[in-house]
Amino acid sequence: MTSWVGARSTATLSQVDAVVRAIRRTPIIDQHAHPLLKLDAESKHPLLSITSEASGDAIHAAITSLPHLRAIRQLATVLKCGYTWEAVVAAIEERRIDSPEDWVAQCLSGIETILIDDGLDGKEDAQDCDWHDDYTRSKCKRIVRIEKVAADIIIKLGKALDASAQTVDDVLNDAFNEWLQEFDAHIRAAIEDTDVVAFKSVVCYRTGLDVTKTADEDGARDAFKEIMANFSLLDFQRLQETSLNNLVVHRTAMLIRDCNSRLKKPIQFHTGLGDNQIILSKSSPSHLQDFIRAFPTVPIVLLHAGYPFTRETGYLASVYENVYADIGEVFPVVSQDGQERIVRQILEVCPWSKIVWSTDGHWFPETYLLAIMQMREVFETVLCEYVRKGHMGWRAAIELVQDILFKNANKLYHLGLELAELEEDSDLELGPFPSDLDLLQVFLKNQAPPDFVRICWNDFTASPRMRMVPFRKFMSLLDEGKSADIGITKAVFGLIQNDWLVPNVSATGEYRLHPDFSSLKKGPTEGHLSMYAEFREKSGARVPLCPRSLLQRAVELGAENGLSFLLGFEIEFLLLERFDRAAGGSRYGTLMTDGHAWSVSRYFADPKVSHLLRDMVSELEDMGIFVEQLHAESATGQFELILPPLPPVEAVDTLLHTRDVMSALATAAGFKITLHPKPFAHACGTAAHAHMSISSPNGSKPEVYEPFYAGILKHLRGITAFTYSNPASFERLADGAWAGGRWVTWGTQNRETALRKIEDSHWELKCMDGLANPYFAMGAVLLAGTHGVVAKEKLVWGDCEIDPAKLTANDRKEMNVTEMLPASVEEALKALKADEALVDYLGAELVDRYVSLKEFELNFLAEMGDDERRGWIMERY
């Protein structure tokens, strides 16, 4: 970071940045995982298992779990697909077909080596351990599952045993002794095998972790003989007898203890979290305490954070030298809040030098990907908070990261690897889910410090409002780990343009104005940064009245139904001359130009206007907003600037920021910009057309986009309350003026229809102007359209090829062009209230408040004369 933040802030921000870098760039020794499936076996196993330990019919409920929803969001981000499970599955299947090796490599990116327990059932469907070497920097190693070894020997002996000898006691005793000898030989060989780094016990699954302090060999012998005596009748697959399971664990521990090597190989124990074979009451690692004491020189790893017995896991690792706590598998099968709590609980008492990490990746590469993504996200949240609050120093935090992800496992398993940071990667600079501080740091990289940070919103009257925070104060809040939220009175959604409060709204209570750092932009004036915000309750819950939250909710509803959208806006504006108010009359007048008309080139002859328009485009480009077109419109001094297509919330944020930039530059140049829909009675009106398209897969198919636009047309009269929200809006509403006309209908390339079809799913909403709150307007449009897709609405309106005002009565009947748009704000509000489905989509509370505020605003505006009202609106829009 550069020095402009100030001495204290520079140090702290640099330190936090260094911790984040360590989390993202420290290579991972994945100290417990399982092999991936062969391609032809992937269809045998449910992909739903990537976030759930459930199996059988129970797994289908996983789709309503927080881990599943989070996985959808993260996988959809990586795969660049729709935010639905169906879209994610389709995208994964496409990767499996088109580039399986590349997809596996992406999922396992960042892993130094994998220690693989290959003792899972269905081994024939899995890749060999060596196969995974192609996707890691260092050779992968094996973990030997001891119960699998024991069971395989029993099966071999049982098959070899003559049926007539199955009841002969001496024969069975000999078989038991042979089983023990062969088991011991396997373990000794594994101890000597350099490709084997550990052993694994699943006694937790079989008979529980209450392993006896000493082995009951006589009981085990009797259990073994019982199995052999009935072997021909049994379908023996695994150890299920307590004495046998305990003996297997004890024999392994004794062999490790007594081996000549000083490099003792650990035993990993499955603890806690598991499928429905787990005896939950016996899965707490606390049951292992006697066993741990009995073998103090045998390294023991408690897997999976012992969840939900996390504190017990951390405690045991903290008080016994030979015990280590693994915090794998909880990524990604536990929610984000749960994962953060698990990390905090482990660190309550457990030294980080005793903690190791694993993906517990299995079958599907996506399990590795999600585990790594979520671990990094949670580590950043928890550790950066500890650093900011002074609970630990930044160097200690980096040491913690390197120890947990690499050094501890490297030492514990005697891997002899060198810690070398992952190579620089553009994806690592921010990561898929960056923090607010990340976004700000990257945004400000190599820039001079701003003076102020603007936190902006657009209210119920579409008035742009903001709070400004001096930059140093803003940075000190982040520096101290505090929220950048600002308290705002709940009356904010009860004010009209002059701050009069709607009578039924109270000035009591407070919301939190929560900035979205992803909306950061320079400007609109020099020395300022701006970002848009949503309103939240103090609990963090969304506020139903918040316009930006409504649009975000509409986007999420679309994603849940496999839809994603792009919006692009046309900014029509009128450039006016400013007059000295002391001279009397209007403050603003028509721009003095020669022969102004639609798309003429002569307006560039005026250097002041030409330079202003050039500066607008240049300034916006410097802010990362790339104007697509700029041309003259029909009214004198009227122009249109076209913005690029963007995802909905980003598109509206960009629209509002662009307007602010344009207005600031025009004011500095001595002009005034207005969005008034009809500032001069005999001149063309000014609109704010919105272009829409469905960007998700299949969005260009008629069976997808036609129900979407049918849903919009079905509710368009109610939607008009948001798109034509001011009496001035209806001064522009007319037939034959390229303004979208007065009829509820659509037409291909027809500028006289409210919806103009351009190509496939790309349509234009023409019945909207600059006095509309675009969050409300587009939120209502997207909600109505998405519900149209869900309900499979029919596009019952015909493709109108002429001005619908010129249709005959019979033509209208045939094309179902039977409704007109409201003719006034009052009529639009009435249509909104009458549309029960639309009210339900938007929320009754929001609609009630919006209607009451608009009615209050109408009463206020009605007291003005036409000229006074026109000037009043031009001052504000």
What CATH number does residue 799 fall under? 3.30.590.10
Interior CA angle at 174 toward 173 and 176, to 5°?
A: 65
Residue type, 41: A
- Of 510, 530, 551, which marks where a domain is finished? 551
- Of 403, 434, 465, which marks where a domain is finished? 434
Structure tokens belonging to residue 436 = 């607010």
pLDDT of residue 10: 32
For residue 549, what is the enclosing H or E element?
A: helix 547-560
Cα 780 to Cα 705: distance, rounded to the nearest angstrom: 17
Taking the alpha carbons at both ends of the chain, their separation in whole angstroms is: 40
3-class secondary structure per residue, 279-327:
CHHHCCHHHHHHHHHHCCCCCEEEHHHHCCCHHHHHHHHHHCCCEEEEC
pLDDT of residue 759: 92
Over range 392-415, report the average pLDDT: 94
Instruction: Residue 805: name the closest of 860, 733, 699 by CA.
Output: 733
Cα 102 to Cα 108: distance, rounded to the nearest angstrom: 10
pLDDT of residue 583: 54
Same domain for 639 and 491? no
Instruction: Residue 748: name the closest of 802, 706, 793, 685 by CA.
Output: 802
CB atoms within 10 A of CB 69: 16
* 253 inside domain: no
* Separation in Å, CA 515 to CA 448, 480, 529: 22, 17, 12
pLDDT at 731 over 50: yes
* 596 inside domain: yes
Beta bridge partners of 458: 464
Instruction: Residue 674: name the closest of 636, 648, 643 by CA.
Output: 636
pLDDT at 828 over 60: yes
Over range 602-609, report the average pLDDT: 74
* 714 inside domain: yes
pLDDT of residue 262: 76
3-state secondary structure of 277: coil
Among 18-22, 203-207, 431-435, the least confident range: 431-435
Same domain for 558 and 451? no
* 242 inside domain: no
Same domain for 650 and 694? yes
3-state secondary structure of 827: helix
pLDDT of residue 164: 60
Same domain for 857 and 770? yes
State whether the Cα torsion 39-44-48-51 is positive or negative.
Answer: negative
Strands (E) across 85-175 are located at: 111-117, 141-145
User: What would the pLDDT profile of 78-95 be if each residue is shown by its tens digit?
Assistant: 888 877 888 889 889 988
pLDDT at 9 over 50: no
Q: Name the DSSP class of 808.
A: -
Beta bridge partners of 268: 200, 301
The answer to whether residues 666 and 575 touch, using CB atoms and an 8 Å cutoff, is: yes
pLDDT of residue 636: 81
**pLDDT band at residue 2, thresholds of 50, 70 and 90?**
very low
* Separation in Å, CA 484 to CA 362, 434, 440, 646, 650: 40, 16, 12, 26, 20
User: What would the pLDDT profile of 541-574 be if each residue is shown by its tens digit?
Assistant: 889 999 999 999 999 899 888 888 999 999 998 8
Same domain for 542 and 416? no
Same domain for 408 and 423? yes
Same domain for 449 and 401? no
Cα 857 to Cα 221: distance, rounded to the nearest angstrom: 89
Over range 436-465, report the average pLDDT: 84
pLDDT at 805 over 90: no
pTM over 0.75: no
Same domain for 585 and 503? no
* 172 inside domain: no
The answer to whether residues 532 and 653 touch, using CB atoms and an 8 Å cutoff, is: yes
Same domain for 631 and 513? no
pLDDT at 139 over 90: yes
More confident residue, 182 or 443: 182
* Separation in Å, CA 870 to CA 70, 770, 860: 50, 14, 13
pLDDT at 11 over 50: no
More confident residue, 114 or 388: 114
Cα 569 to Cα 688: distance, rounded to the nearest angstrom: 7
User: What would the pLDDT profile of 55-66 be if each residue is shown by its tens digit?
Assistant: 788 888 888 899
Cα 606 to Cα 628: distance, rounded to the nearest angstrom: 22
pLDDT of residue 811: 87
pLDDT of residue 230: 83
Which of 367-376, 662-671, 695-704, 795-804 is most confident?
367-376
CATH number at residue 538: 3.10.20.70
Same domain for 440 and 430? no
Residue 561: burial class (beta carbons within 10 Å; 0-12, 13-18, 19+): middle
3-state secondary structure of 610: helix
> DSSP string covering 433-487, please?
S--HHHHHHHHHTT-PPPSEEEEEEE-TT--EEEEEEEHHHHHHHHHTT----EE
φ, ψ (nearest 5 deg) of residue 333: -95, 5
pLDDT of residue 277: 82
pLDDT at 589 over 80: no
Over range 474-490, report the average pLDDT: 77
* 293 inside domain: no
Residues near 590 by Cβ (< 8 Å), separated by ≥ 6?
Answer: 576, 577, 636, 637, 680
Over range 41-53, report the average pLDDT: 84
Same domain for 585 and 565? yes
Rg (CA), the chain: 34
* 663 inside domain: yes
Same domain for 725 and 676? yes
What's the domain count of the chain?
3
pLDDT at 407 over 50: yes
Q: Name the DSSP class of 570.
A: E
Q: Name the DSSP class of 266.
A: P
pLDDT at 457 over 60: yes
HSE-up of residue 720 (Cα within 13 Å, Cβ side): 33
Q: Which domain covers residue 558, as residue numbers?
A: 552-876
Over range 104-113, report the average pLDDT: 94
Among 14-23, 357-366, 431-440, 839-848, the least confident range: 431-440
Residue-averaged pLDDT of the chain? 87
Beta bridge partners of 532: 456
* 153 inside domain: no
Over range 265-286, report the average pLDDT: 90
Strand-pair category, 323-326 with 300-302: parallel
Among 319-333, 535-549, 616-630, 730-744, the least confident range: 730-744
Which of 63-77, 103-117, 473-487 is most confident?
103-117
Instruction: Residue 763: name the closest of 613, 602, 589, 566 by CA.
Output: 566
pLDDT at 70 over 80: yes
- Of 384, 415, 434, which marks where a domain is finished? 434
pLDDT at 502 over 80: yes
* Separation in Å, CA 116 to CA 111, 304, 307, 469, 793: 13, 15, 21, 52, 52
